[in-house]
A = this chain, B = another copy of it.
Amino acid sequence: MERLRKAIEEFGIGIGQDVVKVDMFLNHRIDTELLFLMGEAWAEEFRDEKPDLVLTVEASGIAMAVAAAHALGDLPVVFAKKSATVVQNDEMVQAPVYSFTHKTRNMIRIDRKYLPEGSRVLIIDDFLADGEAVRGMMSLCQKQKAVVAGVGIAVEKGFQPGGRKLREAGVHLKSLAIVDRIEDGKIILREDA
Contact = CB atoms under 8 A, between A and B. Distances in A.
Contacts of A19: none
Interface stretch (A60-68, A154-162, A176-184): A60-68
A69 interface: yes
Contacts of A81: 28, 59
Interface string A53-82: 000001110110011011000111111010
Given A59-B59, A111-B23, A28 B78 contact: yes
Interface residues of A, number: 29
Contacts of A79: 28, 30, 59
Contact of A30 (B30, B59, B66): B66
For this chain, the copies found in one complex come to 2
21 contacts: A23-B111, A23-B114, A24-B114, A28-B79, A28-B114, A29-B76, A29-B114, A30-B77, A30-B79, A32-B66, A32-B69, A32-B70, A32-B77, A33-B74, A35-B66, A36-B70, A62-B62, A62-B66, A63-B63, A63-B77, A66-B67
Interface of A: 23-24, 28-33, 35-36, 58-60, 62-63, 66-67, 69-70, 74-79, 81, 110-111, 114
